[in-house]
Amino acid sequence: MNFWNIWGDCGEVGLRKLLNNIQKEARQNVISDKNRSKLYKLIKKLKKVDIVISNWTSFLSYNLEKWQIIPFFLSDNEGNIKHFLEAETPISFIGENYNVPQEWHFLWGIDNQNTPFTGDNFELANFSNHEITTAINEILKSGIEDEEVQKLRDTKKGINALGPEVKYNKIDINEKLVNNMFNNYEKDQDDSSLKRPIFKVIKKITDLPPIRTQSSPDRRVELMNINYIGKILSKS
């Protein structure tokens, strides 16, 4: 059974009612203790995801309707943002429910299409094994080898799996990756080094049509913005 299909069939309130009913029925002695334990764990997990989606829906709906703030989701192919984007019509706007438009998000591992590198997170999707090991070793003074990074690609793990020091220093490592990329470009003038998914993300964001801002409350501008957002959502 796919949770996201359940969400689409039931909606937020329906899902919560369904989970509560399943939990009540599970208390009856019709399943083994082992399976009952597994079911309770699944229900607990689904309820947590339900809360995440509900919170995101409320947050986005308020900002879209009140301030016409358009969100952009940039995320690894895992975690709460991925769950929200995969949910059926998670955005509520002016009384209607919509999916998140394609132009409002970018997921590593999906939208980068594993070109030029295979990876479902920022580091692996944008940098070669050698670039990653170079940056890590420069920051940590360690001896990480290219083969270790390749193993991460093969097992669909992130660089955090290389150890707690890597996880703790991840921001510095990312800064080093980016700085090294630009330094190498200035030295080699090789345009192919800039053909990475991160630049597609930047272009995707800058290509978003601007929402008209208001220096003072203006109902006409607000209605124009709402109409524009509604058109985008209706195509999703």
Residues 89 and 170 in one domain: no
Residues 159 and 223 in one domain: no
Grade residue 168 by pLDDT with cuts at 50, 70 and 90: very high
Q: Is residue 221 part of a domain?
A: yes
Q: What is the pLDDT of residues 172-200, one digit of tens each?
A: 999 999 999 999 988 988 888 888 999 99
Q: Is residue 41 part of a domain?
A: yes
Instruction: Report d(CA 50, CA 26) in Å as an integer.
Output: 20
Choice between 213 and 86, residue whose per-residue pLDDT is larger? 86
CA dihedral in degrees (154, 156, 161, 162; nearest 10)? 30
> How confident is the model at residue 99, as a pLDDT?
87
Domain that holds residue 46: 3-100+207-234
Residues 90 and 132 in one domain: no
Q: Is residue 107 part of a domain?
A: no
Q: Is residue 113 part of a domain?
A: no
pLDDT at 47 over 60: no
Residues 10 and 93 in one domain: yes
* Residue 183, CB-side half-sphere exposure with 13 Å CA sphere: 8
Q: What is the pLDDT of residues 104-163, one digit of tens each?
A: 889 898 888 888 899 989 999 999 999 999 999 999 999 999 999 999 999 989 999 999
Q: What is the pLDDT of residues 217-231, one digit of tens each?
A: 667 777 888 888 888
Count of the separate structural domains present in the chain: 2
Residues 17 and 55 in one domain: yes
Q: Is residue 112 part of a domain?
A: no
Lowest mean pLDDT among 41-45, 93-97, 109-113, 221-225: 41-45
Instruction: Report d(CA 119, CA 114) in Å as an integer.
Output: 6
Residues 175 and 221 in one domain: no
Residues 172 and 223 in one domain: no
